Amino acid sequence: MKKALPFYTLLAPSLLLLSVFSLLPFLWAFWTSFSDYEVGGQTKFVGLANYGEYLTDPTFLPSFVNMGLLTLFHIGVVLIFPLFVARMIFGLSSERARYLYRLLFLIPIVVPGIAGTLIWRGMIYNDHGLVNETLRVLGLGELTRGWLSDPQAALWAVALIGFPFSGGVNMLIYYAGLAGIPESVQDAAQLDGATGLRKFFRVEYPLLMSQVKLLVILTVMGGIQSFEGMLALTKGGPGFKTMLPGLWMYLNAFSFQRMGYACAIGVILFLIILTLTVLNLRYFRSTEELTEARS
Amino acid sequence: MKKRVKRNDLLIHAVLIVILALTLTPFVFLLNNSLRTNFELDHAFFGIPTALGKRDWNTLFQSYRDAWQVLRPHIVNTLFVATVTATGVTLLGSLTAFVFSRYRFPGHRLLFMYVISFMMIPGILTLVPSFLLVKSLGLLNSYWVLILPGIAGGQVFAIFLFKSFFDGLPGELFESARMDGASHLRQYVSLVLPLSKQILSVVIVTNVLGTWNSFLWPLVTNSDAKYQTVSAGLFSLGSSALSVNHANLFAAYSLSAIPMLILFLYATKPFMSGLTSGAFKA
């Protein structure tokens, strides 16, 4: 035991920080969700009342439908666009060109995420923005609208932000997978006469499964959790047309000061994520990807 | 055969250039429109800055001067917070991972599981209670509220990455160092750190990028603009006096990317090869 003391000392700073800033909030989330915690008001234990209220909340159904639609859309996107670009780059014969394209497609990640969102809001979707002005130039003026305020268009407008969805790290992850396929496998496929699309779907795509799974898991986790973009774009409007559960949690906590209610929404989202995690572990046994899908 | 390869390459170049152009279109318009007045923007979205045609450099870059005035303190804040957080995460993360990787002691497995289990806790669950915690600790409106939780949360993934890397280092290396009388800490400093340059750069870059992009936490914990970082600052700009001119906002968005651009010019190579060499390969 005495010999182990230096090890505990070395670990102490890490463990202390984790316990205070990660474990405490985790436990606190559940505790607060059972109480009527309002800033400036009296805190009292209310049992499951917050959960009951959320199930009948007018945002409940629309926000989960929006979350599901956006997540499905982004799963489709992440399966196609960055993979297509990665495969294209991988197919170039010049090593220098391959490097250059990877670098160029990485450029968008230097722009802070929120700046990217604000650019779409302020320059592409606004009244005199890129989309409307392009429509006017093409003589399609009657199609112009406030893309983020139109009840029919808002959710789609949000989904299409980032088009053509190829910049950044996702493409590099696919590329790393392609580069990791052993030469012998590629050669064998060549010998068997597999070329083009056939070779891609029969030989390469199955070998990219771990990358595909990683990106799908990250997309699902992001789809359930992220709402910053929506906060900056629409605040959930018009009406609840673009409301998300996470955004409703945020608004309750920081606009309406209803901390207990917000924590209950957080706990429900956590339980959904936990369920998906367990299902994934049981049926796909991909612990490694999961550990990277954190927060 | 050679000719077919060439034609194939040309086709790929054409496709890639179109996709790349679409990807970069918003940024090209951003740069162009950051140099144009409201009047120009409202009358013709497509067009080059009038001041550019008149070679009037003073007017041309006015928006950047205004935006820089407002953005500079936020950039300085972010640089400070990002540096301290990344340093903390790298030092603590690699040290903790080193201890877990090289030594066995009572509770070893349990403690490691404790650390790693935090990867399963999603940020959405802890956002509100973390806010309540730092509020009751009296940390709101300070650098600490960004740095301490940043290190606490950021180190988990770093420990995971470092440990799997250290586990792969040959044991004889440490055996011989110990024979030479190197202490635990000495082994860590002069043996482990130099060997892990690539993984270090991956951890540092992802961490700095994380701080740079972090938006919600700085927004809710620092209502005082004095401590606000770039992302939260940009968000608040939209409702400030600066936003009377669109060009000012666009200039601010462009400026916010420059520090990361510089980091990338320096770190892309090790970062990309770190990505490829297995850090992100599942």
Peptide bond before A164: cis, by omega within 30 degrees of 0?
yes
pLDDT at B271 over 60: yes
B122 with A269: Cβ contact below 8 A? yes
Nearest 10 degrees: CA dihedral of B70, A110, B250, B59?
Answer: 80
Contact B258, B277 (CB under 8 A): no
Residue reference for tokens 């339980």: A271
CB-closest option in A115, A175, A267 to B257: A115
AA identity, residue A126: N
Q: Which long-range contacts (CB under 8 A, 24 or more apart) does A34-41 make?
A: A34/A260, A35/A260, A36/A260, A37/A258, A37/A259, A37/A260, A37/A263, A37/B132, A38/A257, A38/A258, A38/A259, A38/A260, A39/A257, A39/A259, A40/A257
Residues A198-227 as b or e (16 or more Cβ within 10 Å = b): ebbeebbeeebebbbbbbbbbbbbebbbbb
Identify the CA nearest to B220 among candidates B115, B132, B117: B132
Identify the CA nearest to A225 among candidates A172, A258, A274, A259: A274
B113 touching A (Cβ < 8 Å): no
Interface A-B, measured as beta-carbon pairs within 8 A, has a size of: 274
| Burial tier of A145 (Cβ tally within 10 Å: 0-12, 13-18, 19+) | middle
Give the mean pLDDT of chain B: 87
Contact B125, A29 (CB under 8 A): yes
Q: Which long-range contacts (CB under 8 A, 24 or more apart) does A22-28 make?
A: A22/B118, A22/B121, A22/B126, A22/B152, A22/B153, A22/B156, A23/B118, A24/B129, A24/B133, A25/B126, A25/B129, A25/B130, A25/B132, A25/B133, A26/B121, A26/B125, A26/B126, A26/B129, A28/B129, A28/B132, A28/B133
Domain ranges of chain B: 48-279
pLDDT at B279 over 60: no
A115 with B234: Cβ contact below 8 A? yes
Separation of alpha carbons A13 and A10, rounded Å: 7
Res. B180 pLDDT band, cuts 50 70 90: confident
Q: How long a stretch of residues is chain B?
A: 282
Identify the CA nearest to B210 among candidates B71, B77, B27, B86: B86
Average pLDDT over residues A157-173: 92
pLDDT at B282 over 50: no
Q: How far is CA B182 from CA A217, A256, A278, B186, B190, in A?
A: 43, 58, 44, 6, 9
Q: Supply the Cα-derived Rg of chain A in whole angstroms.
A: 24
Identify the CA nearest to B158 among candidates B119, B194, B186: B119
Q: How far is CA B78 from CA A113, A195, B220, in A?
A: 15, 50, 16
pLDDT at B277 over 70: no
Domain ranges of chain A: 39-292
3-class SS of residue B245 = coil
Structural tokens at position B175:
């055996």
Residue reference for tokens 């090890």: A7
Structural tokens at position B7:
């034609």
B152 with A113: Cβ contact below 8 A? no
Contact residues on chain A for B184, CB-CB shorter than 8 A: 6, 10
CB-closest option in A14, A94, A114 to B96: A14
Return the pLDDT at A1.
Answer: 54
Separation of alpha carbons B72 and B75, rounded Å: 5
Q: How far is CA B139 from CA A66, B143, B146, B182, in A?
A: 35, 8, 9, 41
The fraction of chain B above a pLDDT of 90, given in percent, is: 54
Res. A178 pLDDT band, cuts 50 70 90: very high
Contact B261, B243 (CB under 8 A): no
Q: Which CATH class is domain B48-279?
A: mainly alpha
B140 touching A (Cβ < 8 Å): no
Peptide bond before A238: cis, by omega within 30 degrees of 0?
yes
Angle between helix B230-237 and helix B197-213 axes, rounded to 10 deg: 20
Question: Chain B, 13-72: which have a CB under 8 Å from a chain A CB?
Answer: 13, 15-16, 19-20, 22-27, 29-30, 33, 41-42, 45-46
Contact B254, B34 (CB under 8 A): yes
Return the pLDDT at A290.
Answer: 44
Return the pLDDT at A128.
Answer: 86
B262 Cβ neighbours under 8 A, 6+ residues apart:
none
Q: Which secondary structure element, helix H or strand E, spans residue B84, and what is its range?
A: helix B62-102
What CATH number was assigned to the domain covering residues A39-292? 1.10.3720.10
Return the pLDDT at B246.
Answer: 87
Residue B211 CA, distance from chain mean position? 5
Separation of alpha carbons A262 and A247, rounded Å: 10
pLDDT at A234 over 90: yes
pLDDT at B85 over 70: yes
A249 Cβ neighbours under 8 A, 6+ residues apart:
A262, A265, A266, A269, B124, B127, B128
Angle between helix A60-90 and helix A209-225 axes, rounded to 10 deg: 150
Angle at A275 between CA A273 and CA A281, to 5 degrees: 100
B281 with A270: Cβ contact below 8 A? no
CB-closest option in B118, B120, B132 to A277: B120
Separation of alpha carbons A185 and A204, rounded Å: 9
Q: pTM for this structure?
A: 0.90
For A58-89, what is each residue's pLDDT tens digit? Answer: 999 999 999 999 999 999 999 999 999 999 99
More confident residue, A13 or B59: A13
More confident residue, A199 or B91: B91
ipTM for this model: 0.89
- Give the closest-approach CA distance of A57 to chain B in angstroms: 19
Among A18-27, B43-52, B91-100, B141-150, the range scoring the smallest mean pLDDT is: B43-52
Residue A186 CA, distance from chain mean position? 33
B212 touching A (Cβ < 8 Å): yes
Average pLDDT over residues B184-195: 83
Return the pLDDT at A191.
Answer: 82
- Give the closest-approach CA distance of A146 to chain B in angstroms: 16
